[in-house]
Amino acid sequence: MMFVPFTGIDNHNRNVTLGAAILGSETAETYSWLLRAIKNAYGYAPPVIVTDQDPAMKRAIADVWPESRHRLCMWHIMDKLTTKVGAALCSNTDFRKRLSAVVWTDSLLPEAFEAEWAAIIHDFGLTDHEWLTYIYGLRESWIPAYYREEEMSGLMRTSSRSESENHFFGKISNPKCTLVEFLSHFDTAIEAQRHEHRKNDHDTRYTNPGEWSDFVLEKQAAQIYTRTLFFDVQLEIQHAIHRCASVRLDHVGDFIKFFIKDLDQPCSSYFEVMIREEDVTVKCTCNRFEQFGLFCSHIFCVLRILDIREFPKQYILRRWTREAVPNSSPGSILTDGGNPDRSDDVNRCVREISHATEYVVNKLISNFDKLSDFRDHIKQFMSAADEAQINAPPKTRRNRFAELLGVAPESTATIRVPVGTRFKGCGSHKRLKSQKERAVSQSGSKRRQCSLCKKYGHNRVTCWKYNVAGAEAGSSRNAGGNEDTIPEGDAAMVVQGDGTGLNDDDDVFYTSGNDADMDDEEMA
């Protein structure tokens, strides 16, 4: 069966498994069922999904997730360039370099991309090339120029995160695992992923990254974003200070238009930043915030020129902040005696208590007296909590046995035997060889040679001449009553009789030759 993980990005810009499934086939109907199950679990479909050019996936996504933007992996398409166009054209000319320059960049507008593409195709005489015409027709599904306004699509150009996730699960499992073994390994992998996320949360909360400048927004960003994302923001701030400069500005209504020169960009044009000082509404033509959800160096340069002292709250996306993932375990914390209408308030309060407790413990870890006072203060509430505890109804005998044995209660779900099907990548990893290749490989191997007849394909034990000679010798002895003469100096062994036992009179072993090195016992 085929393992299908859904991979996303957490608030530390690391891979996270959103869900997984085990499928028996790769048909469009199977994928449609899977996408409906994911949508029912999360309540909505993601805005962007990245896959390869599998036709079954394409059909299922269009039917079940019509509101999602289906993006094709750029790497899988560009990897076929040499095979489809030819190695000579890609190696001996600058065709691949020019094409990659307009394909992988996100600074071009769609009109500029189409003009550059047409110029490259015309210069190299590929106007009638079938494959290039086909992928150009799919340009809105994989070219970054058409995803400039798509939120978060800048993070996902290829399926490299999916390949990384496959490698992650491949380290703890293999295709020969049984279903029970694989589920156990899957739980281990998910726990390792959660441990890494908790470690990143701990580093974010209790470590202070170094400051590179005296810019006030840099200090505020360190308290807003996670540690990994802050380093990205910090790098943009440094570029804004040292690599960006304002060339001129214009007033357009309530907005101020800044023309920013970026020394790191090879283009000769300027980046335009529109800002309104009253409510700090800002937008840059590079569209980095629209794609990644983070300010670019051009906007930081303008904020520094205008001496903005507070980070604009409307541009702080919660998904990159420290509080994006609750500090407690997922799911409702309310017990049977709680009020379901106040579930959100209770869970929020529990998260705040957990965060405050963890914060105090880490701060007082070096002061034992203060830490002891905090422990005594917590214990005072334990008795009050016992008095206010709502007694839950007693567990049934079935549930107690299920909890003791570690098994779940009986379910009415019907599990059918999976149908054996073949899918991509299954089977032997060895390439099928032709008859010519097999003949060449066999001709180079050393064949067995018989020491009696000097022919190949057998040894002296199975040689037909040896067997015939032994049979003739036995028949001649039975007829004449005398043994054959064995030349002196030759070591030989002749078996006479039916060979059923050594104690029979007819079973005699004759040896001759140079037996000077043999003692009496060996001769006997």
> How confident is the model at residue 82, as a pLDDT?
87
**Nearest-angstrom CA–CA distance, 469 and 278:** 113
**pLDDT averaged over consecutive 10-residue blocks of the chain (524 residues)?**
88 91 90 92 86 90 92 88 87 84 85 91 89 92 85 73 85 85 91 91 86 88 92 93 89 91 77 91 90 91 92 89 68 48 73 79 82 86 73 74 72 75 65 78 74 82 72 52 42 42 42 43 42
- 3-class state of residue 175 by DSSP: coil
With 0.75 as the threshold, say if the pTM is over it: no
Tokens encoding 138: 């799919």
> How confident is the model at residue 511, as a pLDDT?
42
Helices 110-123 and 95-103: angle between axes, nearest 10 degrees: 170
Q: Provide the CB-side half-sphere exposure for 503 (13 A, CA).
A: 0
Tokens encoding 336: 């049977």
CA nearest neighbour of 50 among 167, 147, 183, 175: 147
Angle at 201 between CA 3 and CA 220, to 5 degrees: 130
Q: Provide the CB-side half-sphere exposure for 473 (13 A, CA).
A: 16
Checking phi first, is residue 427 left (phi over 0); if not, alpha (psi -120 to 50) or beta?
left
> How confident is the model at residue 468, as a pLDDT?
65
**Domain boundaries, given as residue ranges, for the chain:** 2-189, 216-324, 448-484, 485-524
- DSSP-assigned states of every residue in 385-409: HHHTPPPPPPPPHHHHHHHHHT-PP
> How confident is the model at residue 469, as a pLDDT?
58
Pairing of strands 69-72, 48-51: parallel
